[in-house]
Amino acid sequence: MRNSREYATVLNKLIRKARRSKGTPEEHELTDPVTEIILGYLTFHTTESKGTTALNRLKSHFVDFNELRVCRESEVVRILGSSFPQVRDVASMILQSLREIFDQQDTLILDFLKNVGKREGKIFLEGLKVLPTYVQSRVMLRSLNGHAFPVHEKLITTLQAEGAVDPKASEADVQGFLERQFASKDIHKTYALLRNFVDTYKLKSATSAKIATTVPAKSKAKETTKTTKKKTKAASKKKRKVLG
């Protein structure tokens, strides 16, 4: 991502702002990988709190995730409720993921991932065709204690609105940028802090937030300097031509 150093400065200020607002997150215990996969889908379009509530609702209706795996999509939709964001897509993806895992492993218990290396765990998750990058990253971070920073739409738009990332950066660019900013020992608490901040962040309109034009001050200064130099050079050439 261009101008990473300048954006990193803005990001650090935002983190300090989030910490003043939300406080330091509590230490997170590693979750079961399959639980985290389901929670990943449930939190993609809504807050962490609402996603956890939805997960508990599913758990209360099924004996275990195997029973959830074999149920109908319409049943999952009914349990989550029609008002749950993107409920049909979420239900479909949860069931597809559980079925793909079972087809590969003949079980939904993925405890072996905690005993293999981070690289092997990542390879396994990437091999599951259904899992989006956001869900893979959540499992790596929250279940396997890997170095990953899950990125979803509201996180990106919030960082853009605050001028902490390039407004033209892709999801992969933003994730890579965030993962480079934090040491492994800090990344989990930083993600939890930013996620909590983002979940309660009130996005303004794209125009008022200036998402499309937000660039750190240093970058603007550089661009202005370049433009001035170009104009001066062009004027000098024109003057020499006239004199000649």
E strands in 23-95: none
What is residue 244's predicted lDDT score, i.e. its pLDDT?
47
Name the percent of the chain lying above pLDDT 90: 75
Q: pTM of the entire structure?
A: 0.82
Computed from CA positions of residues 218, 221, 227, 229, in that sequence, does the dihedral angle turn out positive or negative?
negative
Distances (CA, A) of 130 to 37, 81, 94, 133: 11, 23, 9, 10
Residue 243 has pLDDT above 70, yes or no: no
Residue of 194, 198, 149, 199 lying closest to 172 (CA atoms):
149
User: In sequence order, what DSSP letters do the residues of 148-195 get, joined into one string?
Assistant: -----HHHHHHHHHTT-S-TT--HHHHHHHHHHHS-HHHHHHHHHHHH
What is residue 207's predicted lDDT score, i.e. its pLDDT?
35
Residue 203 has pLDDT above 90, yes or no: no
Residue 153 has pLDDT above 60, yes or no: yes
Determine phi and psi for 75, rounding to 5 degrees. -70, -40
- The per-residue pLDDT of the chain, averaged, comes to 87
Name the residue ranges covered by the structural domains of the chain: 4-199
Assign domain 4-199 one CATH number from 1.10.10.10, 3.30.750.24, 1.10.340.30, 1.20.1250.20: 1.10.340.30
Mean local confidence (pLDDT), 92-106:
97
Q: In which element (H, E) is residue 221 found?
A: helix 217-243
Mean local confidence (pLDDT), 124-146:
96
Q: Which residue has the higher pLDDT, 113 or 214?
A: 113
Q: Which residue has the higher pLDDT, 158 or 219?
A: 158
Q: Confidence class of residue 99 from pLDDT cuts 50, 70 and 90?
A: very high
When mean pLDDT is compared across 21-30, 150-159, 184-193, the lowest value belongs to: 21-30
